[in-house]
Amino acid sequence: MSFTTGARTAPHILTLVVLSGLGALSMNVFLPSLPGMARDFGVDYALMQLSVTSYLAASALVQLAAGPISDRYGRRPVMLAGLGLFLAATLGTLLAPTAQWFLAFRMAQAAVATCLVLSRAVVRDTVEGPAAASRIGYVTMGMSVIPMMAPVLGGILDETFGWRANFSLLLIAGAAAFVLAWVDLGETGKGGLPMRAQLRGYPVLARSLPFWGYALSATFTSGTFFAYLGGAPFVGETVFGLGPVEVGYWFMAPSIGYLAGNFLSGRYAARIGMDRMIVAGSILSLVALGVAVLADLAGAIRPAVFFGAVALTGAGNGIVLPSANAGMMSVRPELAGTASGLGGAMAVAGGAALAALAGVFLVPGAGALPLLLIMALSAAVALAAAIALRTAPAR
């Protein structure tokens, strides 16, 4: 199979799971190591936490560019190029002599975001509407196993070999994903859509209330999780006194919930409809976080309460995101890659801002409340967008 093959052959679903999961692995595997990495480089935790927020910001830019470029040149070459850049950047993180160099290479690792945005576009290339939401749900259900296990594995690797072992794992996994994509990923996009024509499509998306409803639902639903990623390592170590391995085990909570939510999406999205799934998932997330906030105010916050609420929030996210992502790509099917990239960029940029906000307010003595409030506010905005979507004009 050539680099630019024109064969419109859909990859195996396992290939899409692996490609999407590589991005999740890159995001999650090193999180239990953040406090130790800060000590190793001799910098404050707030600087080291930029490895989350700067990565998210760079991912937003990558997704914004990858979608339109893939609509022009095809999914396959853009996916392979992103994987190649990711491998080079990962090697750089292993060799970085200072925290500043590490952060630069960490930002470059965001090239792997092409795998996430284009995996969704590949699904939309082959199926439509609620069926696409169902298939995306099954893809992300398989993918959710990776971030569920990654923090546990990352904590074990950190305590056994040091934090660089996590990035060695990413290098190996990235090489394996590149080989798999080269062998199995055929070209599913039509390609050839001039960039000028795509730019003319942006105002159409910008004027579409349904697109904004789907995109904002996805953005603030993802925001609850990204805020959690930015603040949970601090809460685990400082508030609850957990070690890296223990933090890794508790980090499984949102992934278990996300797995369950993705299963429900895969099973019911085509039957119930995308808009109803989005509203239901948003309500679940907001209620779970509201209960956790009340528990904290009552002085009853414990690891089981905090991470239990996050698990239910993860379930809500798993219900919302497949339908929201499929919905935004359905507004203009011929611009599926562009819509996926724009919506993904919004979600990741919003997530980066919320993760940075969590880092600002999580100082010694603050407890878990600031993080819970940020997550609850994000969930409330997601629910408002979902309700507005239900009242938008028919598509």
Range 154-177 average pLDDT: 90
pLDDT at 228: 84
Greatest mean pLDDT range, 24-33, 192-201, 209-218, 286-295: 286-295
Q: Is a pLDDT exceeding 90 seen at residue 49?
A: no
Note whether 191 and 322 are within 8 A (CB): no
Statement: residue 89 has pLDDT above 50: yes
Give the list of residues 6+ apart from residue 33 with CB closer than 8 angstroms, or none: 154, 155, 158, 163, 166, 244
**Computed from CA positions of residues 349, 85, 186, 175, in that sequence, does the dihedral angle turn out positive or negative?**
negative
Span 227-242, average pLDDT:
78
pLDDT for 1: 38
Binning pLDDT at 50, 70 and 90, where does residue 113 land?
A: confident
Joined together, the tokens standing for residue 145 give 């196993």
Name, of 27-41, 101-115, 139-153, the range with top average pLDDT: 101-115
Residue-wise DSSP of 292-315: HHHHHHTT---HHHHHHHHHHHHH
pLDDT score recorded for residue 114 = 87
Q: Which pLDDT score is estimated for 140?
A: 66
Separation between Cα atoms, residue 306 and residue 288, nearest integer Å: 10
Indicate the pLDDT class of residue 111, thresholds 50, 70 and 90.
very high
Alpha-carbon gap, residue 33 to 51, rounded angstroms: 11
Largest distance between two CA atoms of the chain: 61
Decide: residue 42, CB within 10 A, 0-12 exposed, 13-18 middle, 19+ buried: exposed
What's the confidence (pLDDT) of residue 133? 63
Categorize the per-residue pLDDT at 249 as very low, low, confident or very high, splitting at 50, 70 and 90.
Answer: confident
Lowest mean pLDDT among 72-81, 138-147, 165-174, 243-252: 138-147
| pTM of structure | 0.68
Residue 120 has pLDDT above 80, yes or no: no
Q: What is the mean pLDDT of residues 291-300?
A: 89
Closest CA to 170 of 320, 26, 300, 50: 26
CATH class, 13-391 region: mainly alpha
Amino acid in position 271 = R
- Under the banding of pLDDT at 50, 70 and 90, the label for residue 6 is very low
Q: What is the pLDDT of residues 306-361, one digit of tens each?
A: 889 999 999 999 899 888 877 877 776 666 667 777 777 777 777 777 777 776 77
Is residue 181 scored above 60 in pLDDT? yes
Query: Smallest Cα–Cα separation from 12: which of 140, 233, 185?
Result: 185
Give yes or no for a contact between 225 and 324, defined as CB atoms under 8 angstroms apart: no
Q: Are 325 and 218 in contact (CB under 8 A)?
A: yes
**How long a stretch of residues is the chain?**
395
Q: Write down the pLDDT at residue 192.
A: 60
Q: Taking all residues of the chain, what is their mean pLDDT, rounded to a whole number?
A: 80
pLDDT given for residue 179 in this prediction? 93
